[in-house]
Copies of this chain bind each other. A is one copy, B any other.
């Protein structure tokens, strides 16, 4: 479905980096959910570049809800949100027209769309498009909150700096940490925002870029959500998260580390706690057989360093098939590791709404 995701609750995104506007259509949310413009704006502000460590292209994200909201509540009709593009400097891209930026989608888009793609600023492949995901995700996040489901994404590691690993925390502590990180303008739990900024600045000063690992945690999701086989909670979340530019790996629970463990170390034994069946450890990240087991859902996402760097790079002019050195001069992020956190939480919230609606019906989210 290319630019749409979900079955009962669907998100469709559209737009290009340098077009008139980008946007999203969120369909299937039940009627009666309160929609707060302030919350949407606050979520969008978390995605917006800021400060010396990020791109100088800052946009106001003056989003407009065109449909599906009436008297401050969802109506049940599709919600279209558009966000005008501002502060575009397309001329930056005309200079290097035809030269494929390494590790960007320029070349694959050129082949796929036979030269008709909007190449300015990455066009439809721009990270700019994720603003629509965040705006729509804000509505999903609010709906989940009413069911006491919390979701948060923080920077687990960037350069030599690491945040606490939620995989080993109990559900109550995990929920508190999610509150902490969501209240924080910089998405970390520990007091390491300055350290991470320093890592990013170091990369920027070397005309380079940096990646990292972000960790997402979900609490309050009851057991029994997710489907066997091809709608596994892991598969559905991974599919959504891999759609975001820069993501190259997703692991649930202990993930790749599980591959080096013995069964006796890896297995999550069951216990009864406060009358509820729980697991002692959470190496499976809250999912067995593709279905939630009531423990926190925890997954890590590998984010590659942003491909746009100020150093000259070897490339090819796609129009002439000649090798050519590329020197980028636009305004670029040395790291998207901070900004990607809210995007992952947002798309994951939409996936969870969809998964919940399957078992419970869409009205469950009201």
CA distance A253 to B302 in the complex (A): 11
Q: Are B323 and A266 in contact (CB under 8 A)?
A: no
Binds B, one of A50-58, A73-81, A177-185: A73-81
At the interface, yes or no: A49 with Cβ under 8 Å from chain B? Answer: no
At the interface, yes or no: A296 with Cβ under 8 Å from chain B? Answer: no
Q: Are B111 and A224 in contact (CB under 8 A)?
A: yes
CA distance A79 to B15 in the complex (A): 8
At the interface, yes or no: A352 with Cβ under 8 Å from chain B? Answer: no
Q: Which of A238-268 contact B (CB under 8 A)?
A: 238-243, 245, 247-256, 258-268
Q: Are B77 and A313 in contact (CB under 8 A)?
A: no
Binds B, one of A37-45, A142-150, A189-197, A205-213: A205-213
- The total of chain A residues at the interface (CB under 8 A) is 152
Q: Which of A2, A107, A251, A288 is most buried by chain B, counting CB atoms within 10 A of its CB? A: A2
Q: Are A102 and B357 in contact (CB under 8 A)?
A: no
Q: Are A314 and B270 in contact (CB under 8 A)?
A: yes
Q: List chain B residues, Cβ under 8 A from A256.
A: 213, 248-249, 251, 256, 302
Q: List chain B residues, Cβ under 8 A from A255.
A: 248-249, 302
Q: Are A3 and B116 in contact (CB under 8 A)?
A: no
CB-CB nearest in chain B for A241? B235
Q: Are B240 and A66 in contact (CB under 8 A)?
A: no
How many copies of this chain sit in the oligomeric assembly? 4
Q: Known contacts A66-B15, A258-B305; decide if A103 and B266 are in contact (CB<8 Å).
A: yes
At the interface, yes or no: A360 with Cβ under 8 Å from chain B? Answer: yes
Q: Known contacts A31-B116, A68-B14; decide if A262 and B208 are in contact (CB<8 Å).
A: yes
Q: Which of A229, A308, A318 is most buried by chain B, counting CB atoms within 10 A of its CB? A: A229
Q: Are B107 and A223 in contact (CB under 8 A)?
A: yes
At the interface, yes or no: A88 with Cβ under 8 Å from chain B? Answer: no
Q: Are B269 and A124 in contact (CB under 8 A)?
A: no
Q: Known contacts A124-B228, A248-B284; decide if A263 and B223 are in contact (CB<8 Å).
A: no
At the interface, yes or no: A307 with Cβ under 8 Å from chain B? Answer: yes
CB-CB nearest in chain B for A22? B67
Q: Which of A89-130 contact B (CB under 8 A)?
A: 100, 102-105, 107-109, 111-118, 123-125, 129
Q: Known contacts A28-B2, A288-B103; decide if A358 and B248 are in contact (CB<8 Å).
A: no
CB-CB nearest in chain B for A210? B262
Q: Known contacts A267-B309, A270-B315; decide if A302 and B77 are in contact (CB<8 Å).
A: no
Q: How far is the CB of A263 from chain B (nearest CB, A)?
A: 3
At the interface, yes or no: A203 with Cβ under 8 Å from chain B? Answer: yes
Contacts beyond the supplied A108-B287, A267-B313, A361-B361: 15 A-B pairs with Cβ under 8 Å: A1-B7, A2-B10, A3-B27, A32-B113, A102-B279, A105-B290, A107-B270, A107-B288, A108-B288, A124-B228, A211-B266, A212-B259, A213-B259, A248-B252, A263-B306
Q: List 8 A-B contacts (CB under 8 A).
A: A2-B228, A3-B77, A8-B358, A102-B267, A103-B288, A210-B263, A248-B256, A277-B316
